[in-house]
Amino acid sequence: MSTAGPFDRSRLAGDPIQAARSLLGAILVREPDRAGRIVEVEAYVGVEDEACHARFGRTERNRVLWDGPGIAYVYLVYGMYDCLNVVVEPANRPAAVLVRAVEPLAGIDAMRAARLAHARARRRAWGDDRLRAEAARLDGLDPPRLASGPGAVAAAFSIDRTDTGRDLCDPGGPVRLAAGDPPASIGVSPRIGIAYAGEPWRSKPWRFFDPSSPAVSGRSAGSGRRVRRG
């Protein structure tokens, strides 16, 4: 895969909000054939953040959140979808950035194949005919939709919980970050799918996205306040 410059780990070691913003425009690489531009992220900050997995304290699942910036934290949600996080903050302080959407740059066909493989693995109730229909749906899906949403990002890049602990800043790693151009502007909104969290956490404006990208996820794509460049 082409080699953009490595992603500077120190950008993830400071304020988690700044770390999240700095990940917009970075390149997510999956060797040997896939790459895309990160266009939507959310910050999850510390044990007090009632939406953050660190709120339970250190457990077997979330322990890498304390391992320092640049490490991958992948968890299974709703029994079906893996979600990729980049651990941020120095070691001993837990925080992570959820990668919610990636705009494909290379490996479109490989991403379609990976999405279908994920469906095969997880949808036990689906017969062959249903899987054929899913293959056709993926074939017709516009490339910017292939990794739009956290579950779709992991599926398209063949990332799952076994990738937890991987160093995403290792320039030789099979799954890694590479440097990229920041967006011209950054959209901001509350985080998605965390109604269970109390205030003020539920309303914290900690979702960041590139308003110009067609890959931003959900109904709220492009919604939220637009702020100047990050």
To the nearest whole angstrom, how small is the minimum distance from the Cβ of residue 52 to DNA? 5
Indicate the residue among 6 and 67 with the shorter CB distance to DNA.
Answer: 67
Three-class DSSP category at 71: strand
Stretch that binds DNA, among 7-15, 73-81, 174-182, 207-215 (CB under 7 A): 73-81
Note whether 117 binds DNA by CB under 7 A. no
Indicate the residue among 58 and 226 with the shorter CB distance to DNA.
Answer: 58
Distances (CA, A) of 180 to 29, 75, 83: 11, 26, 22
Q: Rg of the Cα trace of the chain? A: 17
- Fill in the amino acid letter for 103: E
Q: Which of residues 164-183 bind DNA (CB under 7 A)?
A: none
Distances (CA, A) of 153 to 146, 197, 219: 8, 24, 17
Note whether 105 binds DNA by CB under 7 A. no
Q: Of 135, 147, 138, nearest to 104 (Cα)?
A: 147
Q: Are 157 and 102 in contact (CB under 8 A)?
A: yes
Q: Are 28 and 180 in contact (CB under 8 A)?
A: no
Out of 5, 10, 77, 132, the residue judged to bind DNA by CB under 7 A: 77
- Gap between the Cα atoms of 151 and 192, Å rounded: 13
To the nearest whole angstrom, how small is the minimum distance from the Cβ of residue 40 to DNA? 10
Structure tokens at 166: 């991987």
To the nearest whole angstrom, how small is the minimum distance from the Cβ of residue 194 to DNA? 5
# binding residues, DNA (CB under 7 A): 45
To the nearest whole angstrom, how small is the minimum distance from the Cβ of residue 228 to DNA? 26
Q: Of 25, 20, 33, nearest to 5 (Cα)?
A: 25
Note whether 93 binds DNA by CB under 7 A. no
Q: Which of residues 123-152 bind DNA (CB under 7 A)?
A: 123-126, 133-134, 137, 149-152
Indicate the residue among 9 and 53 with the shorter CB distance to DNA.
Answer: 53
To the nearest whole angstrom, how small is the minimum distance from the Cβ of residue 185 to DNA? 23
Structure tokens at 218: 């959900």
Note whether 48 binds DNA by CB under 7 A. no
- Rounded to a whole number of angstroms, the distance between the first and last alpha carbons of the chain is 27
Q: Which of residues 184-203 bind DNA (CB under 7 A)?
A: 191-196
Which residues contact DNA (rule: CB under 7 A)?
A: 42, 44, 51-54, 56, 59-62, 75-81, 83, 85, 96, 98, 115, 122-126, 133-134, 137, 149-153, 161, 191-196, 217-218
